[in-house]
A and B are shown apart, each in its own frame.
Chain A
Amino acid sequence: MQRTSNQASDTKRWSAGALVFAALAVVGGMSNAYVISLLTIVLLFTFMGQSWNLMLGIGGQLSIGHALFVGIGAYAVAILNIKYGVTPWIGLLLGAVIAGFVGAVLAWLSFRFEVRGIYFALLTIAAAEFVRIMFGGWDYVGGMQGLFYQAPSGAMDLGMLRGDARFYYFVALALAAIGVAGTELISRSYWGYVWRAMRDDDEAARALGVRTFRHKVLVVSISAATAAIGGGVLGLVQGAIFPDSIMGMAISVDVLIGPVVGGLGTAFGPLVGSMAAIPLHHAMGALGDALGLPGLNSVAYGAVLILVVWFLPDGIWPSIVRLYGATQLPARGRIPQLRKVEE
């Protein structure tokens, strides 16, 4: 029996993760403002990508409207803080609770009425677009003009989550670390096992006693709640939020690009994927502006997606792992085929 070999690879994975995040902390201490702000976005989308990854890569439920939950979190923090001076910590908590509830209701209604797979995914977009348009016409939340945070005074204030760019970098780094470690822990917990079972084969999981309905609602709800936390911080980092910028389709794409490119269902995939895709997106955006070719960044996204799906269908991270000969590794990183999603 090989119980020990698993423990050895566990230790290896955790040490590798700790090393990566230590290196990122050093980078944060050294880099210039541009790199810092770019990496902050990368790390925030690593965290949000991780929440999306939890839902599809582990729970088998596809969302293409995660901007809804990101937006709920951003607005909860902004409304409470800007209008009422409440600390973002409370906003983050409230945003997570509301998003978790919205996600649960959406999932409950869909799955109850057999709206599954790709149809559920379409429903998530519809819900996100509905709320985005509604917020655009709602004066209380700032309408299309959005909500603006006061310019930071520069002094760090952990209680009010305010500080300079470097401060937000470390907040994002902490979130990303929590996302990676959390995915690893959840994936090997009771939830992780039953979620992966229902992802791989819903009917077979039910035959083994897994109450897949409630677990699907649960995984969507947790994914929504964590995405909202990322959204709340993203709004703070950006200093202003608008329905189109925080709840648009582009956000939904940014959330899922990391895990898809990096490796679905893996703990490191979203980090690797966000590191690869988001800087490219920004660089191409800058290049596009310089060349007078708006939309070059979207083309670049599309190209990266096609290349990865074509050449590394499991994503970048599982391919790296395989290079190092870990053939015994259970194939955890595969993109669940549409067959599974459609069920």
Chain B
Amino acid sequence: MTALLEVKNLTRAFVGLVAVNDVSFSLQAGRITALIGPNGAGKTTCFNLVAGALRPTAGQVLFEGRSLEREPPEAVCRMGIARTFQIVRPMTDMSVLENAMVGAFSWTTNVKEAREKAYESLENVGLAGKANARTDQLTLPDRKMLEMAKALSTRPKLLLLDEVMAGLRPTEAAGVVGVLHRLAEGGLTILLVEHVMRIVMEVASTVVVLHHGAKIAEGKPSEVVANPAVLESYLGAGFHA
């Protein structure tokens, strides 16, 4: 099987702390992979490194065999990697539809085409009915979905989702899980950061576990939850299943 994305020995140090420490993993095309770990484990930093928002201290990111570490975020996006922000970042003075159109302008300059793509993305996440709303009229779950719609409009090959289901009610989360499955069936590769293990078990075919910046486990969800090191990192030393 070919890897769409390969992360090799990725390291990022901040002053006084190594947020991502020698992490390697690869993503299979068309699969959903979950990146999990306790708060502060380095998941968002990892996303920022892949998306070009941060430069790695060491290591490599290969996308379709091409090296990404020196590319700015807009170039990474144009190569086919779209990301959402853990803390939602709507364009506040643009409508929901206009927000979703921006991503489409990474591959077209035709406004009509961008608008159609934006409607399609909004429909994908169940927001089409609110296309003309202002972003400050959206609930938090809807804003998370808008983040996803914006990313989808770029026509990504790889989608990086940072806690898009945090704060959603179980039924809403179930809806999103359905969306992710549909997107993956359509050939999209997804890397998602998610805290709720039940959801991870449901969507991910592979799980990568970070702790204090280092990868401590990787495997099928069922394997990973049975891994003592993982349980310990989540529940503190002394816990044994």
Binding site for B on A (CB under 8 A): 1-2, 5-6, 188-190, 193-194, 196-197, 199-201, 203-212, 265, 328, 330-332, 334, 336
Q: Given the known A-B contacts A206-B74, A208-B150, are A193 and B114 also in contact in the complex, defined by CB atoms under 8 Å?
A: yes
**For the complex, what is the distance from the CA of A207 to the CA of B83, rounded to whole Å?**
7
Please determine whether A209 and B77 come into contact, CB atoms closer than 8 angstroms: yes
A120 shortest CB reach to chain B, Å? 20
For residue A207, which residues in chain B have a CB less than 8 angstroms away from its CB? Answer: 51, 53, 73-74, 77, 82-83, 85
Q: Given the known A-B contacts A208-B77, A208-B150, are A201 and B132 also in contact in the complex, defined by CB atoms under 8 Å?
A: no
Residue of B nearest to A212 (CB): B74
Q: Given the known A-B contacts A201-B89, A208-B151, are A330 and B53 also in contact in the complex, defined by CB atoms under 8 Å?
A: no
Residue of B nearest to A335 (CB): B93
Please determine whether B131 and A1 come into contact, CB atoms closer than 8 angstroms: yes
A54 shortest CB reach to chain B, Å? 15
Please determine whether B119 and A1 come into contact, CB atoms closer than 8 angstroms: yes
A199 shortest CB reach to chain B, Å? 7
CB proximity to A under 8 Å, residues B122-157: 128-129, 131-134, 136, 150-151, 153-154
For residue A189, which residues in chain B have a CB less than 8 angstroms away from its CB? Answer: 111
Cβ contacts B76-115/A at 8 Å (1 or 0 each):
0110001101000111111100100111011101110010
Please determine whether B93 and A334 come into contact, CB atoms closer than 8 angstroms: yes
For residue B134, which residues in chain A have a CB less than 8 angstroms away from its CB? Answer: 330-331
**For the complex, what is the distance from the CA of A6 to the CA of B131, rounded to whole Å?**
11
**For the complex, what is the distance from the CA of A204 to the CA of B151, rounded to whole Å?**
10
Please determine whether B91 and A204 come into contact, CB atoms closer than 8 angstroms: yes
Please determine whether A200 and B105 come into contact, CB atoms closer than 8 angstroms: no
Enumerate 25 A-B pairs (CB-CB under 8 Å) in ascending A order.
A1-B119, A1-B128, A188-B111, A190-B109, A193-B102, A193-B105, A197-B91, A200-B91, A201-B89, A203-B73, A205-B91, A206-B73, A206-B77, A207-B82, A208-B82, A208-B106, A208-B153, A208-B154, A209-B77, A209-B103, A209-B106, A209-B154, A210-B106, A330-B94, A331-B93
**For the complex, what is the distance from the CA of A207 to the CA of B74, rounded to whole Å?**
6
Q: Given the known A-B contacts A1-B119, A193-B114, are A208 and B103 also in contact in the complex, defined by CB atoms under 8 Å?
A: yes
Please determine whether A328 and B132 come into contact, CB atoms closer than 8 angstroms: yes
Q: Given the known A-B contacts A190-B111, A328-B132, A330-B98, are A210 and B105 also in contact in the complex, defined by CB atoms under 8 Å?
A: yes
A165 shortest CB reach to chain B, Å? 40
A209-B107, A210-B105 given; name 8 further pairs at CB < 8 Å.
Answer: A196-B91, A204-B85, A206-B73, A207-B74, A209-B103, A209-B106, A209-B154, A336-B93
For residue B129, which residues in chain A have a CB less than 8 angstroms away from its CB? Answer: 1
Q: Is B72 an interface residue (CB 8 A)?
A: yes
Please determine whether B105 and A201 come into contact, CB atoms closer than 8 angstroms: no
For residue B89, which residues in chain A have a CB less than 8 angstroms away from its CB? Answer: 201, 203-204
**For the complex, what is the distance from the CA of A212 to the CA of B103, rounded to whole Å?**
13
For residue B85, which residues in chain A have a CB less than 8 angstroms away from its CB? Answer: 204, 207
For residue A328, which residues in chain B have a CB less than 8 angstroms away from its CB? Answer: 132-133
Interface residues on B, range: 35 or more
For residue B154, which residues in chain A have a CB less than 8 angstroms away from its CB? Answer: 208-209
For residue A2, which residues in chain B have a CB less than 8 angstroms away from its CB? Answer: 131-132
Please determine whether B151 and A332 come into contact, CB atoms closer than 8 angstroms: no
CB proximity to A under 8 Å, residues B27-61: 51, 53
Q: B101, B131, B132: which contacts A193 (Cβ < 8 A)?
A: B101
Please determine whether B103 and A199 come into contact, CB atoms closer than 8 angstroms: no
**For the complex, what is the distance from the CA of A188 to the CA of B73, rounded to whole Å?**
25
**For the complex, what is the distance from the CA of A205 to the CA of B107, rounded to whole Å?**
14
For residue A331, which residues in chain B have a CB less than 8 angstroms away from its CB? Answer: 92-93, 134, 136
For residue B153, which residues in chain A have a CB less than 8 angstroms away from its CB? Answer: 208
Q: When A and B form their complex, which 6 residue pairs have the shortest distance between CB atoms, in order from nearest?
A: A209-B106, A200-B91, A209-B77, A330-B95, A204-B89, A190-B109
Q: Which of B73, B102, B107 counts the most chain A CB atoms within 10 A?
A: B102
Please determine whether A211 and B91 come into contact, CB atoms closer than 8 angstroms: no
For residue B128, which residues in chain A have a CB less than 8 angstroms away from its CB? Answer: 1
For residue A193, which residues in chain B have a CB less than 8 angstroms away from its CB? Answer: 94, 98, 101-102, 105, 111, 114
Residue of B nearest to A204 (CB): B89
Q: Which of B109, B129, B153 counts the most chain A CB atoms within 10 A?
A: B109
**For the complex, what is the distance from the CA of A337 to the CA of B61, rounded to whole Å?**
36
For residue B114, which residues in chain A have a CB less than 8 angstroms away from its CB? Answer: 190, 193
Residue of B nearest to A210 (CB): B74
Q: B53, B98, B110, B111: which contacts A196 (Cβ < 8 A)?
A: B98
Please determine whether B77 and A196 come into contact, CB atoms closer than 8 angstroms: no
